[in-house]
Structure 1
Amino acid sequence: MANAIKQKSGAYRVQAKKVVDGQIIRKSFTVHPKECGDDSRMAKKKCEALAKEWQLSREDDLTTITVGKAIDKYIDDRSKVLSPSTLRSYRNYKKDFSSILGIDAIDINTTHVQRLINDMAMDLDAKTIKNKVSFLLSVLDYCGNDRRFKIRYPQKAKRELRTPDTDDVKRLLDNANDTMKAIICLAAFGTLRRGEIAGLKYKDISFDMKKIYVHADMVISPSGKWVYKEMPKTSGSVRSVQLPSFVFDVLPKASSEDPEEFVFKLVPFTISKHFGALRDKCAVDCSLHDLRHYAASFRSDLNIPSKYIEEVGGWTSDSHVLTSVYDNALSSSRKKYIQIANAFVEENYQDIVLKKVP
């Protein structure tokens, strides 16, 4: 609670605050010793008591609740605007803060937060720790704890990308069944993530134009179920991908005329599981997501500017995958580079993709 400060006039003053419905409310209280029989100590105590009484006057006052309850309220208040995967992550974060869940949110200081960081550094990488702590600081700010936390994070380790080469991709395709062939083509040539592949519907595919409209994802809901999400990982991930005709030849055929039918009746976890089995069989050291890196790599080797690679993969200009290029994308140039990339894919992969596995 705030301490009363003696003013030049001799009166004691407290600047108090509390949070109601996510809004910080401030109020000052002043008591002069004359109101207490010229007793300065009594005036100070009375001033602080008035402030405390005001702060405790509402049950939903967030300045007096514990960190655990504050986290729950913070999540509940945002449940309508956050994605299912974000809500699930936030709820999972709570267990990392077990040592402070019973402490009032307003009383958390730098020492508490730094101890949490030190404990998490034993098992988690720097990026994960920063995500969790940033969430905690948002909760504390929401509850009126506006301290300037001077904390230090572990040094971020440089990430090494595992990029398969052309022989690796050929070996995967040569041993894949029809479904996995289609999935590998979409990832390695079309840059689709596993969630984007799982969320692909027939309405998103133009077989005439040889284009795929990527605008949806498959994510885990707070209840642990896979759900369709209209927007993918980031707004920049919404894109159209043009691919060689043979890729569309190996896509699963629709079982109905319903445009809402999913192309693959698989959730992301199952896609990764099937790919993992194929990868082990072929002795290829890469994940399905690493095929996106291959998609960027072979385009770079073909001297396609980064701007066009970013566009087809939904990467940002500051992505760790690519070097930023600041030239503007012209439609005529875009068409030329699409043709270069697709010619490379056709030359190297058309026969092996269309070959039937005995």
Structure 2
Amino acid sequence: MNNNKNITVKQAIDRYIESKTAVLSPSTIYGYKKANQRYLYILHDVKIAKLDQKLIQRAINKLSYCYSPKTVRNAYGLLHASLQMFAPDFVYRISLPQKIKSSFYVPDENEIKVIYKLIKNTELEIPFLLASQCGLRPSEICALTKDCITADGLEIRKAVVINEHGREVYKPPKSYAGYRTIPISPLLRDKLMNTPDKKRICVISSNKISRDWNSFLRKHGLHIFRFYSLRHYYASQALLLGIPQKYIAELMGHSSTYMIEKVYQHTFPSAMEEFKVRIADNIEKLLG
């Protein structure tokens, strides 16, 4: 710690973020800067040489009263990475808030059909189809151009994110696994090719998609859920169709099946009822 005894926590975090600017996405850097300003200000003026475990734990405790465990853990992760860079010999043990198991609402097939009838021929139709039928992230939807449509399907080559200045920036997919080709039907291919813009498939931003999606659900008295949940619907439907998890992960741009196993395995009431009927039928066949 002696080499950086005059550096404050804020300076250490700022320098850490600056060192990652060339390798991390603009949206990640923006998130780091926001977390630094919003959550870690408590420690900003403390010099690293004066920092101890008690001060860090006190700051984490204060954050835990106001924010979710995920937010607190993410803020601590940024602090820890910065201290590792500028004070690698500083050893400390911090108790973090316990993780809360995430719960996801995922619409079933009947809900998707109802939504599509209402959303058809609106500005949200294309984003809705790309999320629910292709499993695309909003950032991937907004980056699609007509030349992404090939004979093999829909090629995912880039994403659009919002930088710290509120501007759209194109970047490569989240990881190497993000480069992929999604199978699409001839009807969907025609819809995508015939969108009004000559180049882009979706001309509205990811932020506008989220805002308009919430407004659409409220307007029609539908259950409110995040637009991103349509991606979960795609994964869950693939599971119900019996597609191996490895292939689902590849289609969704994941490098492993971890997210499929931990996040996307939802059971739909309608599907569960169907399975119950099948089980009862098997019993009848045995006894009959």
TM over 0.5: yes
Stretches of structure 2 that go unaligned for 5 or more consecutive residues are: 266-288
Query: Aligned to 2:164, what secondary structure does the other structure show?
Result: coil
Query: Aligned to 1:99, what secondary structure does the other structure show?
Result: helix
Q: Would you say 1:279 and 2:221 are equivalent positions? A: no
Query: Aligned to 2:119, what secondary structure does the other structure show?
Result: coil
Q: Would you say 1:160 and 2:115 are equivalent positions? A: no
Q: 1:306: Cα distance to partner?
A: 1.5
Contact kept in structure 2, 1:215 and 1:239, CA below 8 Å: yes
Contact kept in structure 1, 2:132 and 2:233, CA below 8 Å: yes
Q: Would you say 1:247 and 2:191 are equivalent positions? A: no
Q: Would you say 1:262 and 2:200 are equivalent positions? A: yes
- The one-letter amino acid paired with 1:307 is K
> Could you say which residue in structure 1 is the equivalent of 2:133?
189
Q: CA RMSD in A?
A: 1.9
Q: 1:213: Cα distance to partner?
A: 0.9
After the TM superposition, which parts of structure 1 deviate over 6 Å for at least 4 consecutive aligned residues? none
**1:22-57 CA distance string (max 9 Å, x none):** xxxxxxxxxxxxxxxxxxxxxxxxxxxxxxxxxxxx
TM-score by length of 2: 0.83
Name which structure has the greater RCO, CA cutoff 8 Å, separation 6+.
2
In structure 2, distance between residues paired with 1:75 and 1:143 = 12
**1:198-238 CA distance string (max 9 Å, x none):** 111122111x33x1111211111122222121x22333222
**1:233-275 CA distance string (max 9 Å, x none):** 333222110011111222243644xxxx321111100111222
- Equivalent in 229, 232, 241 of residue 302 of structure 1: 241
- The one-letter amino acid paired with 2:195 is K
Residues 300 and 77 (structure 1 numbering): CA distance in 2 closer, same or farther, change over 3 Å? closer
Query: Aligned to 1:222, what secondary structure does the other structure show?
Result: coil
Contact kept in structure 1, 2:13 and 2:82, CA below 8 Å: yes
Q: Would you say 1:169 and 2:128 are equivalent positions? A: no
Q: Percent identity?
A: 28
Q: State the structure with more CA Rg.
A: 1
In structure 2, distance between residues paired with 1:116 and 1:248 = 53
Query: Aligned to 1:64, what secondary structure does the other structure show?
Result: coil
> Could you say which residue in structure 2 is the equivalent of 1:180?
124
> Could you say which residue in structure 2 is the equivalent of 1:47?
none
Q: 1:173: Cα distance to partner?
A: 0.8
Q: Would you say 1:68 and 2:10 are equivalent positions? A: yes
Stretches of structure 1 that go unaligned for 5 or more consecutive residues are: 2-16, 19-61, 324-358
In structure 1, distance between residues paired with 2:117 and 2:56 = 52
In structure 2, distance between residues paired with 1:172 and 1:101 = 48
Contact kept in structure 2, 1:110 and 1:149, CA below 8 Å: yes
TM-score by length of 1: 0.67
Query: Aligned to 1:227, what secondary structure does the other structure show?
Result: strand
In structure 1, distance between residues paired with 2:224 and 2:110 = 12
In structure 2, distance between residues paired with 1:312 and 1:76 = 34
Matches within 5 A, 1:79-118: 79-95=21-37, 96-118=39-61
Q: Would you say 1:200 and 2:174 are equivalent positions? A: no
- The one-letter amino acid paired with 1:224 is G
Point out the structure with the larger helix share: 2
> Could you say which residue in structure 2 is the equivalent of 1:11?
none
Query: Aligned to 2:154, what secondary structure does the other structure show?
Result: strand
Residues 138 and 239 (structure 1 numbering): CA distance in 2 closer, same or farther, change over 3 Å? same
Query: Aligned to 1:287, what secondary structure does the other structure show?
Result: coil
Contact kept in structure 2, 1:168 and 1:284, CA below 8 Å: no
Aligned residue pairs, count: 258
In structure 1, distance between residues paired with 2:26 and 2:183 = 30
